Amino acid sequence: SSSEKLDLIVQKIRPFPDFPTAGVVFRDICPLLKDPKALAAVTDLFEEHVRQKHPEVRLIVGLDARGFLFGPLLAQRLGIGFALVRKKGKLPGPTVSVAYSLEYGAAEAEIQEDAVEPGQKVLLIDDLLATGGTLYAACELMKKQQAEVLGCLVVIELKDLKGAERLKSCPVFSLVQY
């Protein structure tokens, strides 16, 4: 059942206090990736949500780096493609980019100009929502590309940091909340 799958997932998320900086509790997903049943449960729950709420989606867009772990699995289940939003300087050819800040730093996100079609219906995916800086930047990139963002999918949402409020124009679906 869905709640059994959620239990499997929750058990495999490991907290590390004061990583990478003092005051941050890092939510480590490595045990989740190591357990094939837990990893399949993540894809199952995302697939169920998308089939119910966003059957019109045509592309999954994953965020560097940990969005790449979950996005392609989901895209394959749905029979649609996957595109990468990367940290600046990693992608060849014409790109568009946008700067952003996150829970413990700053960065610049970039996508290839031809990764998304104008008007294409996309879902963004990442492992975790903290301040929302990263997903907000990805939404900005999608706006520049004239893509239609249906929503954001994350495994983990850190509620205290109010990332979902920052992404107000874009509904967030999370599996586990802290």
Q: Which of ligand ADE, ligand PRP, none lies near 25, with the C-beta cut-off 5 to 8 A by kind?
A: ligand ADE
Task: List the catalytic residue out of 66, 86, 110, 157.
Answer: 66
Residue 146, H or E segment: none
177 Cβ contact list (under 8 Å, min separation 6): 156, 157, 159
Cα 176 to Cα 178: distance, rounded to the nearest angstrom = 7
Q: Which of ligand ADE, ligand PRP, none lies near 86, with the C-beta cut-off 5 to 8 A by kind?
A: none
Cα 87 to Cα 164: distance, rounded to the nearest angstrom = 22
Give the one residue of 21, 25, 31, 168 binding ligand ADE; rule: CB under 6 A.
25
| Residue 66 designated active-site | yes
Least CB distance to ligand PRP at residue 73 (A):
16
Stretch that binds ligand PRP, among 43-51, 78-86, 90-98, 100-108 (CB under 6 A): 100-108
Angle between helices 2-11 and 36-53 (to 10 degrees): 130
**156 alpha carbon, distance to own chain's centre:** 9
Q: Residue 103 interacts with ligand ADE (CB under 6 A)?
A: yes
**32 alpha carbon, distance to own chain's centre:** 16
Least CB distance to ligand PRP at residue 129 (A):
5
| Residue 103 designated active-site | yes
Q: Which of ligand ADE, ligand PRP, none lies near 76, with the C-beta cut-off 5 to 8 A by kind?
A: none
Cα 14 to Cα 23: distance, rounded to the nearest angstrom = 16
Number of residues that bind ligand ADE (CB under 6 A): 9
CA distances from 126 to 4, 29, 63, 92 (A): 22, 12, 6, 22
Residues forming the active site: 66, 103
Query: Which residue ranges make up the site for ligand PRP (CB under 6 A)?
Result: 63-66, 102-103, 107, 126-134, 163
Query: Which residue ranges make up the site for ligand ADE (CB under 6 A)?
Result: 24-27, 102-103, 128, 130, 158
